Amino acid sequence: MYIILVYDFGQKRVGKMLKLCRRYLNWIQNSVFEGEMTEVQLKEMLHEAKRIMNEEQDSLILFKNRDQKWMDKQIVGIERQSTDDFL
């Protein structure tokens, strides 16, 4: 499944969340990640995210897509970071 993840965390916790997301998804912009992941990996990540976040103050939003091919990505301005497999 292809995921776009955005979060808005309090300053104290935002760094932890960034590190967690980097393990699973590609960073594309501040507080925005995208990438392919499995159901289990998502569960794993959400479980850890819930331990970091303060559910009264922080928010985490997921956009799920069955496949990347159903998603069109358009970039206006600069691309902060590409996500391809060739470095």
Partner 1 sequence: MKQTKYLMNPGRLSRQDHTLKFTPVDEAGNEGQPRFLPVEQVSDLYVFGSLDANSALYNFLGKEGIAVHFFDYYEHYTGSFMPREYLLAGKMQVEQTKHYTFPKKRIVLARAFVEGAATNILRVLKYYDNRKTGSLADAIATIEQLMASIPLVPDVPTLMGIEGNIRQIYYRCFDAILGETFCLDGRSKRPPQNELNAMISLGNMLCYSACLGMIYHTQLNPTISYLHEPGARRYSLALDMAEIFKPILIDRLIFRMVNKRQLQPSDFRMEVEGCLMKESARKRFVQEFDASLKETIKHRSLGRSVSYKHLIKLECYKLQRHLLGIDAYKPFKAWW
Binding residues for partner 1 (CB under 8 A)? 19, 22-27, 35-37, 41, 81, 85-87
Query: Is 85 annotated to bind ligand?
Result: no
35: part of which helix (H) or strand (E)?
A: strand 32-36
Residue 85: count of CB within 10 angstroms of its CB: 5
CA dihedral 52, 55, 61, 62 (to 10 degrees): 60
The gap from C-alpha 13 to its chain's centroid, in whole angstroms, comes to: 15
Nearer to partner 1, 37 or 53 (CB): 37
Nearer to partner 1, 35 or 53 (CB): 35
What's the closest the beta carbon of residue 76 comes to partner 1, in angstroms? 20
Nearer to partner 1, 23 or 57 (CB): 23
User: Would you list which residues are annotated within the binding site?
Assistant: 8
